[in-house]
Amino acid sequence: MAEVVLAAGLQKEYPGHKAVAGIDFEIMAGECFGILGPNGAGKSTTLRMVIGLTDLDGGRLELFDQPMYPEHPTLSKMIGVVPQEDNLDPDLSVGENLLVYGRYFGLSDKEVQAKMDELLVFAQLEDRKNAMVRELSGGMMRRLMIARSLVASPDLIVLDEPTTGLDPQARHLIWQRLRALREQGVTLLLTTHYMEEAAQLCDRLLILNRGQILDQGSPTQLIARHVEPEVVEVRGNGNLANIKELSHLPGRMEQVGDTLFFYSDDAHTILGFFRDHHHLTCLMRPANLEDVFLKLTGRELKD
């Protein structure tokens, strides 16, 4: 597969702060590539460099085998952008928002009208063409922003936290829309705070922290590389201090507040030990991306 994005030694520095510290990654045509990281990790800065909104301070960045710079005559039409913040025009209707956006790419109203019905069906907004944007729900607005990003038929769509703040139904519907785009051969680059979203959508992803890549690979590879296959959560309900001699249990243990996390390949032995501790709540589950994320970036709150 051809490379859609190639980043080598990518750097961005602000006064007293290195937002992106020389990272390398590539995104192949037709895949969904995710960037995970806590607040301040450099995710949005990386996206802004990819789409040409932020200048590089070092390294090399190519899109479609061409160097990225904001005035590039052809790249703008090849990239669709769904920003984190809603920037739809509330004084225009759904259809008018698509028309105005198309003009930014030099498309005539006739050209946008020709594909508008298809875009609205894709976003499941076909009955909202003449509705004002201010009348839409949050999920509808996000779907409209995705449809808007498709106006110029881009080959790469960049999405910054596409489902933040949405309810589960709206989130799952957007996941369906994004999977449909990938099946059509569109390349997706996204950031997200939702580990389930990354696992559901991403073929590969990287975990970023303080401007540096901690690791990258497929969700399955990252889980296998960094955490044991099974997790037992033991919630103490205020009684953890009464539990003695845990060192003999198989695997790795972490205590977070009133919960013990056991990472092991022998969860049944751990559950057997706690079987008679009726004052505790025990849960066994497979290891997931959130376990990887917390192990690599830490559990402390980052603002």
pLDDT tens per residue across span 123-153: 999 999 999 999 999 999 999 999 999 999 9
Same domain, 92 and 199: yes
Instruction: Say whether both 238 and 117 belong to one domain.
Output: no
Considering only 241-250, 253-262, 287-296, which range has the smallest mean pLDDT?
241-250
The mean of the pLDDT values for the chain is: 91
Q: Are residues 183 and 164 in the same domain?
A: yes
In the chain, % of residues over pLDDT 90: 76
Burial of residue 123 (number of CB atoms within 10 Å: 0-12, 13-18, 19+): buried
Position 248 scores a pLDDT of 86
- Distance CA(147)–CA(30), nearest Å, equals 18
The structure's pTM equals 0.91
Q: Which two tokens stand for residue 95?
A: 């259809």
Note whether 128 and 263 are same-domain residues.
no
177-216 pLDDT, tens per residue?
999 999 999 999 999 989 999 999 999 999 999 999 999 9
- DSSP for 237-283 reads TT-GGG----TTSSSEEEEETTEEEEEES-HHHHHHHTTT-TTSEEE
Structural domain harbouring 193: 3-218
Instruction: Provide the number of structural domains found in the chain.
Output: 2
Give the CATH number for residue 27: 3.40.50.300
Instruction: Examine the domain organization and report whether 203 and 234 are in the same domain.
Output: no
Mean pLDDT of 18-33: 96
pLDDT at 301: 61
> Would you say 47 and 160 are in contact if contact means Cβ atoms under 8 Å apart?
yes
Confidence tier at 77 by pLDDT (50, 70, 90):
confident
pLDDT at 57: 94
Domain boundary among 218, 239, 267: 218
- Tokens 């198309």, residue? 102
